[in-house]
């Protein structure tokens, strides 16, 4: 679910090293440079991956429609005043699969985080993640808190103390409730960034990313049986297979498909289905939602195939600019849709046709997301990036004040 800069990493070369007799007469500095290019891998396409932007927006939209049309019965789910199954008898069962959009988020995140971190220093990686996540997240908390405390909403009026923990984005390990239920996805993303930062610190290479995928896979398998809550919290077994598959798909995109990479993807696909279909302690709560198992397998498989198509270069002709714009709206749309959208539906859902209310609400949320991204998130993130880039990340104490 987390967004990343999809620009080609700075170390990508646009030319392959020359071969043959000319290559044997190059100077030592040039030979060393060509060796570094060869180690870095083949040429990677420079165009922004509009197809991934489109998939990210599709994932966000599916989650939005799930909350408005496809939720299952429960205390939070009667925002319309009537059960979802009664309002949307035909469509409800299909839109219920929109909850799986989160899994597509995680799959794409593994791909684009590896792509954007390649060739970056740990400092660059830290700044890019902080400025990408926190500005919009803080804005979303402020907006959601204003809605929750100013209006009658299905979210109640939680203790304001909860806001302080939520601002850290560490409410999950702190054992504090999310201000907005959709924030639960941020902790798996943070865990991915924290552990992947170790690899970035050493310098991303094909071998190191593959080893990281292997270690994380083993940890995800062992964590549920180890009985160590801290390990399970950090490893996130139910989400790990999607991130790992995304990493392997990027290696396919950067280099080329190999049996090893396909093996990582296949293992991740199997583990993803295992956790999704597990009767207890898995990804799905069978007490509230029990669809036909085959649909879960099919939808998850389609997600893997879609990202595989990007990794294999089959979508390189897709360069529509509107997809790129849609991709920038994904994060604000995801963070704002639940509290704001559900509150609108709660107040106006019985005054018009439900589908009309859904359509107008979704359109309004997309417009709100554009405004927030264009006029709030982007300027704040740019200012934060300039400030952090000028800061000294050192454990050495700064110079003492002259007046002390």
| pLDDT tens, residue by residue, 179-194 | 999 999 999 999 999 9
Say which residue, 258 or 233, is predicted with more confidence: 258
Q: What does the pLDDT read at residue 43?
A: 41
Buried b (16+ CB within 10 A) or exposed e, 18-36: eeeeeeeeeeeeeeeebee
Q: What does the pLDDT read at residue 105?
A: 97
CA-CA distances (angstroms) from residue 368 to 62, 179, 191, 303, 347? 18, 20, 29, 28, 18
DSSP 100: G
Whether 297 and 273 have beta carbons less than 8 Å apart is answered as: yes
pLDDT in tens, 320-368: 999 999 999 999 999 999 999 999 998 898 889 999 999 999 999 999 9
Q: What does the pLDDT read at residue 82?
A: 80
CA-CA distances (angstroms) from residue 159 to 149, 156, 166, 377? 10, 10, 12, 27
Question: Rounded to two decimals, what is the model's pTM?
Answer: 0.86
In Å, the largest CA–CA distance within the chain is 79
Whether 250 and 115 have beta carbons less than 8 Å apart is answered as: yes
Long-range contacts of 25-32 (CB under 8 A, 24+ apart): none
Say which residue, 299 or 76, is predicted with more confidence: 299
Q: Is the pLDDT of residue 393 over 90?
A: no
CB-neighbour burial class of residue 389 (10 A; exposed 0-12, middle 13-18, buried 19+): exposed
pLDDT in tens, 214-228: 999 999 999 988 888
Q: What does the pLDDT read at residue 33?
A: 40
Separation CA 172–CA 169 (nearest Å)? 8
Say which residue, 245 or 391, is predicted with more confidence: 245
Q: What does the pLDDT read at residue 229?
A: 86
């Amino acid at each position: 679910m987390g967004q990343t800069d999809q620009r080609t990493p700075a170390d990508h070369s646009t030319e392959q090293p020359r071969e043959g007799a000319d290559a044997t007469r190059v100077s030592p500095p040039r030979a060393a440079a060509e060796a570094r290019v060869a180690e870095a891998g083949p040429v990677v396409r420079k165009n922004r991956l509009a197809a991934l932007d489109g998939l990210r927006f599709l994932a966000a939209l599916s989650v939005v429609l799930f909350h408005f049309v496809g939720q299952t019965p429960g205390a939070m789910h009667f925002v319309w005043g009537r059960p979802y199954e009664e309002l949307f008898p035909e469509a409800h069962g299909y839109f219920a699969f929109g909850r799986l959009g989160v899994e597509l988020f995680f799959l794409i995140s593994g791909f684009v985080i590896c792509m954007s971190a390649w060739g970056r220093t740990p400092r660059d990686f830290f700044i890019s993640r902080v400025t990408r996540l926190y500005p919009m997240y803080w804005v979303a908390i402020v907006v959601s808190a204003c809605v929750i405390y100013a209006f009658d909403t299905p979210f109640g009026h939680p203790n304001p103390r909860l806001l302080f923990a939520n601002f850290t984005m560490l409410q999950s390990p702190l054992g504090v409730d999310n201000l907005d239920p959709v924030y639960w996805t941020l902790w798996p993303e943070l865990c991915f960034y924290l552990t992947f930062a170790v690899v970035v610190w050493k310098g991303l290479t094909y071998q190191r990313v593959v080893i990281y995928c292997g270690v994380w896979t083993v940890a995800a398998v062992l964590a549920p049986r180890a009985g160590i809550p801290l390990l399970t919290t950090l490893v996130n077994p139910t989400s790990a297979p999607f991130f790992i598959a995304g990493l392997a798909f990027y290696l396919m995109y950067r280099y080329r498909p190999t049996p090893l990479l396909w093996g990582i993807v296949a293992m991740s696909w199997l583990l993803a289905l295992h956790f999704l279909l597990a009767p207890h302690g898995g990804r799905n709560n069978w007490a509230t939602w029990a669809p036909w198992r085959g649909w879960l397998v099919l939808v998850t498989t389609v997600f893997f195939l879609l990202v595989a198509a990007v990794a294999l270069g089959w979508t390189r002709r897709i360069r529509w600019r509107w997809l790129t714009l849609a991709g920038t709206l994904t994060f604000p749309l995801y963070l704002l849709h639940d509290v704001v959208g559900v509150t609108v539906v709660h107040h106006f859902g019985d005054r018009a046709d439900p589908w009309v209310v859904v359509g107008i609400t979704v359109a309004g949320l997309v417009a709100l997301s554009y405004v927030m991204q264009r006029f709030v998130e982007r300027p704040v993130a740019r200012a934060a990036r300039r400030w952090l880039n000028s800061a000294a990340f050192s454990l050495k104490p700064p110079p003492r004040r002259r007046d002390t």
